[in-house]
Amino acid sequence: MDYRAVLQELTWTRTILTLLSATITYSVTCVLYNAFLHPLRGFPGPKLAGATGLYLGFYKFHGETHVVVKRLHDEYGPVVRVGPNQLSFIEETAWKDIYAYRGKDRSQMQKGDKRGPGPKGPYHIINAPDDVHARQRKILSSSFSDRALRDNQSLLIGYTEDVATRIREHAATKTPIDIAKYVEFYTSDIISDFCFTESYGQLKAREQEPVIAAIHKFIPIEAKISILPAPLAFFILLQILGRNQIRMLAKAEQQIKTRLQKNIDKKDVMHQLISHISEDGNGITFRELSLNTLILMLAGSETTATALAGAFYYVLKNKHVLRKLTEEIRGCFNSTHEITLDKLARLPYLNAVIEESLRLYSPVPAALSRVTPPGGASISGHWIPGNTTVGIPHFAAFRSARNFADPDAFHPERWLPNRPVEFETDRRAAFQPFSAGPRNCLGMNLAYAELRLLLGRLFYEFNFALVDEESRWDDQKAYMLYRKPPLMLHVAPRL
């Protein structure tokens, strides 16, 4: 008998058992500490959620976090402990306390997730520290101002007409149309033209750009992987996403270089951004510009497409809303040529429909997390210990009976200047679909422009109806963003 081999095997077995025992002991100790000794132990919430991150991780893996967190707020109140070191808020005062500038030094709570989505290199507007973010945002925001959008109104109208053309084809053949697919083409064609001076051309090709399709397929995978320990999750994400991201970045850089070489005299968004390229630390570097156009491309298409699809669903699901909306739009314009951004912005019911759609079906249903400073912070009258992850989940806050009357029903009237008496107690300040503070959504003006133009244009020219009137289309899983199924509509020209 080879005693040396036996001893070696016993040593390995003992080592594995020791490591396993230590892991179990450590895990049990952490669970007991989190449940009974942690500084957040006094906040309401499920004991299991406070004891282990596996509670929320389970629902995140299954795309149900937004629904579960809302249920917890309904049961436990406006502040809920949803993780060992994580609190969720839904009160209107929390927006300022969490996301706004703080104190005389105008400091900000740091982002809870510091994993940058881009390859190794310069910062972009999502993962940049405060000083770099302020510099980049000052330059980028000018391209999405009201003035910039008015200057590019003809471009937006052109893509709106492309959607109308596709819909006319379906109306002529009496075939249903998947409006969820076409609004995605619409928003990504616009943002690609804005960022790269060259549209992806999905509306004309009637098919999705392969890179965009790949990113959409990756989103639920990322959400599931992110429940793993941070180093392991980051490594896996880098292996999966890194290659696609590098290819997209290379494409973005090439498109910007082509624009510079051709010296195209087009007064669009890219023209404004290129004029600020500088390597001296005052403007925006070429690599930063490339990264940011890529981020804008990814973030600026899917979210607005989600809002548009939701608006179609809720309007068509509520016949009285459909009637009022079409009456307002068709009563204001005599032809499609009269439909402009300025006129649409003055239609009270259209804008109320948009707000109510964003409330019920916010494109980002979960919280954008922040971390309290080391010395702690006051949020909605509660003193929160330092280094605590905090946030406001849109789905839970916007559908809370604490904030809105009849919260799960579609009532555009609540947003009218003279709202009905039953909605006078609504806490409108709790509704921040584009977040708040210095890091709120950069593309908010563009999103509203796209929503107004497409809804105004299509409901002026066409009559729509849901193919499945009984569907609960909005009952969806969410992995950062909603996983939208097709939204099939019957369509016919207006009589």
Contact 88, 392 (CB under 8 A): yes
Integer Cα distance of 243 and 135 in angstroms:
28
86 beta partners: 83, 389
| Side chain identity, residue 184 | E
Burial 428-438 (b: 16+ CB within 10 A, else e): eebbbbbbbbe
Residues in the chain: 495
Question: Measuring CA to CA, how many Å separate 130 from each of 111, 124, 126, 225, 328?
Answer: 10, 11, 10, 28, 44
The CA-based dihedral angle spanning residues 365, 309, 292, 108, taken in that order and rounded to the nearest 10 degrees: -30
30 known member of a binding site: no
Residue 432, CA distances (Å) to 106, 359, 429, 457 in order: 21, 9, 7, 26
Q: Which of 150, 260, 135, 243 is nearest to 196 (CA)?
A: 260
Rounded distance, CA 216 to CA 480, Å? 11
SS3 at position 138? helix
Count the Cβ atoms, other than its own, within 10 Å of residue 423: 16
**Gap between the terminal Cα atoms of the chain:** 94
Across the beta sheet with 86-89, what order do the strands follow? 79-83, 86-89, 389-391, 370-371, 110-111
Q: How far is CA 254 from CA 118, 196, 212, 370, 484, in A?
A: 17, 10, 18, 35, 32
Are 454 and 163 contacting, i.e. CB atoms less than 8 angstroms apart? yes
CA nearest to 108, candidates 136, 133, 86, 83 = 133
Evaluate whether 447 touches 305 at the Cβ level (below 8 Å): no
Phi, psi for residue 53 in degrees, rounded to 5: -70, -10
Query: What is the Cα Rg of the chain in Å?
Result: 25
Q: Which amino acid is at 122?
A: P
- How far is it, in rounded angstroms, from Cα 358 to Cα 88? 20
Q: Which residues are annotated as a binding site?
A: 441
Q: Which residues are annotated as a binding site for heme?
A: 441
